[in-house]
A and B are shown apart, each in its own frame.
Chain A
Amino acid sequence: MGPQHPMTHGLWNMRVQVDGETITDAAPEIGYLHRGYEKIMEVREFQKNVVLTDRLCYVSSITWSHAYCLAVEKMMGIDVPDRAKWMRVISLELQRVASHLMWLAAFGPDLGLLTGLLWALRERELFLDLIQVMAGARMNQNYPRIGGVRNDFPENFDAMCRRSIEHFREKLVEYRKLFHDSKVFHMRTRGVGRISTADAIDWGVTGPNLRACGVNVDLRRLDPYESYEDVDFEPQVWKGREGGDSYARFICRFNELEESCGIILQAFEKMPKDGAFRVKPPRRAEGEGFARTEDSRGEALFYVCGDGDDRPYRVKIRSPVFCTMAATPIMLRGNKLADVVAILGSIDVCVGEMDK
């Protein structure tokens, strides 16, 4: 299946071996979108790489460029101002909601639910508008900076966010009726693509896909970065029996929409009203540093080495989808061929970050 297939959401290939209708084995084939990021970044200055990391995943640019900035800050030993930390939290959560809505918009049509596509993309515009007001662009915002963020929030940004979130929460009720209450949706997703907790940890599955197995691991809570320590939120973990299937992954992601909205509103109340939003980073740096963040798809890790030049000596990108992809054969084995889209749609593939 692939590289040109409606379920791939990008360009990759899944070799599926079938016995009748049942999948006996599968092997992902990736690399179609390999652009040599780690090599290109070695010849660009630290700050300029933010533009590149934005394009790692066009659906969640801010989370990726933020992870890179965080790693460089750890290497340089910079402390970000308090206000910038809160601004980052808000921008990250806005991006997370937009990213999850893009996933929902892709997951719906995978199951033949075209209403999901239209609704989710409609609500995603709300959040893209907010991001546009905040950073000046709908996508590839180039917003985080090494040492803070690029610009201050516009006037009345908190009121805009509140209004949009209020509207979005009303819509979430309708979403529940569309997805949760649909018998067909349950039949397509329940019990397919199951992966056990031990396998998921062993293969390096992270993020909502791991929480769907009932493992309470959210790096925003377990290894807090920025201001997440002071935010009161509940990591979305599958609490029922027999998790780890497509439905559990859907539930975890879907509940994160609501949770992220709560974080945004809290952050506006807790953030300092004024203060610096950026510090000037040193131009050159030596040493090594790494940072891991909770991307919308899982654990994003950047490992940056410097040799005293104004460019990184080596950058390593740990993409959550790359690791989850290694575990897909386990999820697929034993399922029917028609369920492949229901399984691969639920893990939220983003080829840009997978192939680097």
Chain B
Amino acid sequence: MSAPALHPPITGRPVPGAEVEILAQIGSRFPDKVRDPSVVRPRVLKITIDRADLVEVARYLKDVLGFEHLSCVTAVDWKDHFESVYHLSNWYNGTILQVNAHIPYDDPRIDSLVPLWNAANYHEREAWDLMGVVYEGHPNLERILLPKDFKFHPLRKEFAQEVDRQYISRRKLKGGK
């Protein structure tokens, strides 16, 4: 904890209204780097950033706003671009923040968050393994779930799988789609 004075002890109870305050702080610190910040539902926030600003924003979120727990790193293939989605939890007031970082399709690279959270280590390895997004600066970017000699990134949409339904649904029998 770099700024202990800012953070109260972990009480295990949510702090009402914390999400609005956090959103205001993010908005005033990064007025032009953070796009469409919003409160999705109580205790849940969402922001979108550019991949170049990831480490700077994440460091601020961790050190100043107390998002000390990295829940999850997801890579999503939107066919024309990738998205790396980070879920950051705050143990002090119970909020969780979703950060979407845009990655171009032909250059799937983004900075690694391992220097900030060791938890990112396995998540980023998994995202690289299954989706093929390169996390630059990762200490050990190897396949984790699939065999080491596997040649593909199976969660990409171009990786074929049997998409037809394996039976004829009642809807289809009636002439529906």
Q: Given A38-B155, A299-B71, A326-B121, answer yes or no on A221-B144 (Cβ-Cβ < 8 Å).
A: no
Measured CB to CB, the nearest residue on chain A to B122 is: A326
Q: Is A204 an interface residue (CB 8 A)?
A: yes
Q: Is A325 an interface residue (CB 8 A)?
A: yes
Asked if B71 contacts A356 (CB within 8 A), the reply is no
Measured CB to CB, the nearest residue on chain B to A323 is: B119
| CB contact list, A220-278 vs B, under 8 A | 221-224, 235, 237
Which of A54-62, A110-118, A133-141, A210-218 is near enough to bind chain B? A210-218
Interface size on A, residues (CB 8 A): 41
Q: Given A31-B146, A36-B154, A301-B72, answer yes or no on A314-B122 (Cβ-Cβ < 8 Å).
A: no
Asked if A31 contacts B69 (CB within 8 A), the reply is no
Docked CA distance A299–B71 (Å) = 8
Docked CA distance A356–B91 (Å) = 26
Q: Is A295 an interface residue (CB 8 A)?
A: no
Asked if A323 contacts B122 (CB within 8 A), the reply is yes
Measured CB to CB, the nearest residue on chain B to A317 is: B72
Q: Is B87 an interface residue (CB 8 A)?
A: yes
Q: Given A222-B94, A301-B71, A323-B122, answer yes or no on A39-B13 (Cβ-Cβ < 8 Å).
A: no
Q: Is A30 an interface residue (CB 8 A)?
A: yes
Q: Given A39-B154, A43-B163, A318-B71, answer yes or no on A204-B119 (Cβ-Cβ < 8 Å).
A: yes
Q: Is A168 an interface residue (CB 8 A)?
A: no
Q: Given A204-B71, A325-B122, A326-B122, answer yes or no on A355-B145 (Cβ-Cβ < 8 Å).
A: yes
1/0 per residue, CB under 8 A from A, across B28-54: the answer is 000000000000010100000000000
| CB contact list, A92-124 vs B, under 8 A | none
Contacts of A202 in B (CB 8 A): 68, 117-119
Asked if B41 contacts A74 (CB within 8 A), the reply is yes
Asked if A305 contacts B118 (CB within 8 A), the reply is no
Asked if B145 contacts A223 (CB within 8 A), the reply is no
Q: Given A43-B163, A202-B117, A323-B119, answer yes or no on A303-B11 (Cβ-Cβ < 8 Å).
A: no
Chain A binding surface, main DSSP class = mixed
Measured CB to CB, the nearest residue on chain A to B1 is: A198
Q: Is A88 an interface residue (CB 8 A)?
A: no
| CB contact list, B78-113 vs A, under 8 A | 85, 87, 89, 91, 94, 96, 98
Q: Given A222-B94, A305-B76, A318-B72, answer yes or no on A217-B119 (Cβ-Cβ < 8 Å).
A: no
Q: Is A153 an interface residue (CB 8 A)?
A: no
Asked if A216 contacts B14 (CB within 8 A), the reply is no
Asked if A217 contacts B10 (CB within 8 A), the reply is yes
Asked if A290 contacts B14 (CB within 8 A), the reply is no
Asked if B71 contacts A223 (CB within 8 A), the reply is no
Contacts of B147 in A (CB 8 A): 31
Measured CB to CB, the nearest residue on chain B to A215 is: B10
Contacts of A325 in B (CB 8 A): 122
Docked CA distance A34–B98 (Å) = 26
Q: Is A322 an interface residue (CB 8 A)?
A: yes
Q: Is A157 an interface residue (CB 8 A)?
A: no
Docked CA distance A314–B147 (Å) = 22
Asked if A203 contacts B119 (CB within 8 A), the reply is yes
Q: List 16 A-B contacts (CB under 8 A).
A: A31-B146, A36-B154, A39-B154, A39-B155, A39-B159, A198-B1, A202-B117, A216-B12, A222-B91, A292-B96, A303-B85, A313-B76, A323-B122, A326-B118, A326-B119, A326-B122
Q: Nearest 4 pairs between A and B by C-beta?
A: A204-B119, A216-B12, A31-B145, A316-B74
